[in-house]
Amino acid sequence: MTTSENTDLTRRKFLKWTAGGLVGAGALTLGLKPWKGNPKAVTVSQKRPAMGTFVEITARGEEEGRLDQLLDEAFEEITEVDESMSVFKEQSNVYRLNRAGNKKVDLTPGTAEVLTEGQRISQITEGSFDMTSGPLLDLWGFYDGKLSVPSEGELSETLKLVGYEGLEVDPARATATLPDQQAAIDLGGVAKGYGVDRAVEVLKDGGASAGLVNAGGDIRGFGSPEADRAWKVGLQHPLTEDELLGALDLILPAVTTSGNYESFFTYRGSKLAHIIDPRDGRPVEDTLSVSVLTDSAVEADGLSTGLFSQSATEAVSTVSELEDTELIYIWNEDGEVKVEVTEGLQGEVDRSSYERELASLG
């Protein structure tokens, strides 16, 4: 595995760590402007590279200097998350854990929290989300960018190293242990969401009355962008690059999308997404886009990744067991693009309109 930043960014592009999914639809603007409804309030917004993508943070308040300070602190928090959870950075907890064999490794409290949350999401999704998929990502060439289709034998042997049940996490002592010297974790499906959550908490604790953090499509907001208005986000079109399929109010605090539009390769006529199903070790073929709205960005991040490997029926069933969680699932079935949304989004998403739009390009 390489430790270069270029390779790091390339790998994350494969795994949804780049811009895409749900993006701000006019809600985020750079600079300083008055806040409607309160002549004393202003908004400050900045965009900076972080975690292999661009992160944009917007905050509302009455003191411009204090808001600038809060944005700096929020970006610092995101950088700390990346430093501790990157697969490639030698000082990170993940890097050390992946090279410790089956020995116990001390973690930062934040990394232990993410691993604990990741294990919970693995249980919810019955293994379609699995942080121990590192060996599979390496096998397919996602880490060095040299994509190749493994043999059945290679795939079978590598799958023996994957299984979230074998990862031991002690959140009280902030330690973790992998079961095998060749086992490895990858937090690409949850770390960015966790970074968004931490940045939001910095803004809240610092006194901002409203804010929104958008880390390459992992989004969480609080408060209101204007008087009596909700934050509005746009749903990335899964078949057309740089276009939106629609827009919706952020009815829950956080939203994340996983999509095969971000990057793919073609093998023997089949379009293979760069999202691996950890249960069989193969790229997912028919799912186009999965968006999850819920209370935290780390949960939305992990669920959207895990549900991408499930069928529409399975994904809807999974979400139906969760409180305050909604789903937009777009897939290809026998050449026809279909859309499914959960009950809480029935008035927010025009499923028939989406299907007509997608059918024209499918």
Dist CA 81 CA 193 (whole Å): 10
The answer on pLDDT for 255 being more than 60 is: yes
| pLDDT value, residue 116 | 98
User: What is the model's pTM?
Assistant: 0.89
| pLDDT value, residue 3 | 36
| pLDDT value, residue 362 | 56
Q: What percent of the chain is modeled with pLDDT above 90? A: 67
pLDDT averaged over every residue in the chain: 87
Task: Give the distance, in angstroms, between the CA of residue 197 and the centroid of all CA atoms in the same chain.
Answer: 12
Q: Which of 51-55, 129-133, 158-162, 347-351 bottoms out in mean pLDDT, i.e. has the lowest?
A: 347-351
Q: Please, how many CA atoms are within 13 Å of residue 61, restricted to the half-sphere of its CB? A: 21
Cβ atoms < 10 Å from Cβ of 146: 8
The answer on pLDDT for 215 being more than 80 is: yes
Dist CA 29 CA 58 (whole Å): 8
Residue 296 in tokens? 């935290």
Dist CA 118 CA 95 (whole Å): 17
Between the CA of residue 347 and those of 96, 244, 316, what are the distances in Å?
Answer: 47, 19, 17
CB 143 within 8 A of CB 137: yes
User: Is CATH 3.90.550.10 what the domain over 1-362 is classified as, yes or no?
Assistant: no
| pLDDT value, residue 125 | 98
CA dihedral for 77, 83, 86, 92, sign (positive or negative): negative
DSSP one-letter code for 32 = E
The answer on pLDDT for 11 being more than 50 is: no
Dist CA 89 CA 254 (whole Å): 28
Q: 3-class SS at 312? A: helix
Average pLDDT over residues 227-243: 83
Dist CA 308 CA 330 (whole Å): 10
| pLDDT value, residue 17 | 31
Average pLDDT over residues 90-115: 97
| pLDDT value, residue 259 | 85
| pLDDT value, residue 4 | 37
Average pLDDT over residues 162-180: 97
CA dihedral for 231, 115, 325, 163, sign (positive or negative): positive
| pLDDT value, residue 228 | 67
More confident residue, 8 or 267: 267
